[in-house]
Amino acid sequence: MAKKLTSLFQYIFFLGLGIFLIWWSLRSLTGEDKLQISQALEKARYGYVAPAIATLLFSHWLRAVRWRLIMEPLGYKPSSLNTFFAVMVGYLANQAVPRLGEVLRCSTLTRYEKIPLDKLLGTVILERLVDAVCLLLVFGAALLLQPSLYENIMIAFFGRNAGTQSTGIFWYLVAGLAIAGTAMVVWVLYNRKKNPERVGWLQKIVVHVWQGFMAIKSLKRPGTFIVLSVMIWILYAASVYIGFLMLEETSHYAMKEALTVLSAGSLAMVATPGGIGAYAFLVQKTMELYQLNSGLGLALGWLLWFPQVAAVIVAGGLSLLALPLYNRKKSTTTS
């Protein structure tokens, strides 16, 4: 009961945050901005939605292939289709509660491939760490291609005293990480005797994450793993670029702007269920750095968000239906 209440409150909080960001992004729009949004959406080139969805689905397939590579050194080689279906079911769950999908995709694969859940959780945590590194590299590439971008971001958020403010924020982050690390150590020491099961579960996760790191060293095809990781993020950036083509006013933007939007959008997708509200809001604010009108920036944000959600809802829903059918047929064939 307590778990259900926690999940419910978590969902309400994140959904409320998304609704708040929708309201916040609309409240400051002028009548001219709203007119521009209306006109932009009327003239939008919706024929680019299908290529954007196809690009995203291909990236999800490559993610499933990469996940299988991480499992191979641990002694498991699940079906490609089951792995892809599990990934899409996980993405579908994230539309409800951020990060719930990571657990659900593992439990789905555990059910159909009989792989221990804790080992799968370790591989997913590792995968997310790899994605975090990739996201930093994407943002780094955006800064490298646009030398003035960092200064523009600092001024946009902190005004002309950006240097002093950003230095202060850096030390706040360092202090926050130190406090969080200390709190974790204290929690483990306090619960070691009082709640050994909790600590044991945490230790298991840490062990399997470490095994996952070791799995990278013993990958049979490390080059393939790197290529897949690069391709996944190239496809993400390509979907943003395709989104630029949907509006005449943004069709002149190139891949360097797409990298900046991808960096902001990736953060938004984990902030609220499916990125609702947060994605369009951050895209709007990002495009203002490139002197795009607020209304057009918001319209672009929604146009970029829609293919991502559509791909997940359609493919995730079909995956839920396909999993039992595929595995029933699979078990019939093998028996």
Query: Angle at Cα 143 formed by Cα 286 and Cα 225, nearest 5°?
Result: 100
What pTM value is reported for the model? 0.78
Q: Which residue has the tokens 């760490």?
A: 129
Cα-based distances in Å from 71 to 85, 109, 115, 222: 16, 12, 10, 13
Whether residue 301 contacts residue 279, with contact meaning beta carbons closer than 8 Å, is answered with yes
- Report pLDDT for 18: 46
Distance in angstroms (rounded) separating the CA atoms of residues 208 and 119 = 6
Cα-based distances in Å from 20 to 15, 265, 272, 287, 328: 9, 17, 11, 20, 44
- Report pLDDT for 177: 57
Tell me the three-class secondary structure of 139-150, residue by residue.
HHHHHHHCCCHH
Q: What residue spans define the domains of the chain?
A: 47-334
- Report pLDDT for 328: 85
- Which candidate, 240, 216, 209, 331, places its Cα nearest to that of 56? 240
Q: Please list, residue by residue across 272-286, b when 16 or more beta carbons sit within 10 angstroms of its beta carbon and e when fewer do.
A: bbbbbbbbbbbbbbb
- Report pLDDT for 187: 55
- Report pLDDT for 85: 95
- CB neighbours of residue 190 within 10 Å: 11
- Which candidate, 48, 59, 108, places its Cα nearest to that of 266? 59
- Report pLDDT for 78: 92
Tell me which amino acid residue 312 is.
V
- Ordered per-residue pLDDT tens for the chain, 335 residues: 544 455 545 545 555 554 555 554 555 555 665 666 777 778 889 999 999 999 999 999 999 999 999 888 888 899 999 999 999 999 988 887 777 788 899 999 999 998 888 888 888 888 888 898 899 999 889 888 888 776 666 665 555 554 445 455 545 555 665 676 576 556 556 666 566 655 565 666 666 556 556 656 677 778 899 999 999 999 999 999 999 999 999 999 999 999 999 998 888 887 777 777 788 888 988 898 888 888 888 889 989 998 998 999 899 999 999 999 899 877 666 65
**65-94 confidence digits (pLDDT tens):** 999 998 888 888 999 999 999 999 999 888
User: Which sign, positive or negative, has the C-alpha torsion 251, 252, 258, 260?
Assistant: negative
Tokens coding 166: 């950003």
- Report pLDDT for 315: 93
Rg (CA), the chain: 22
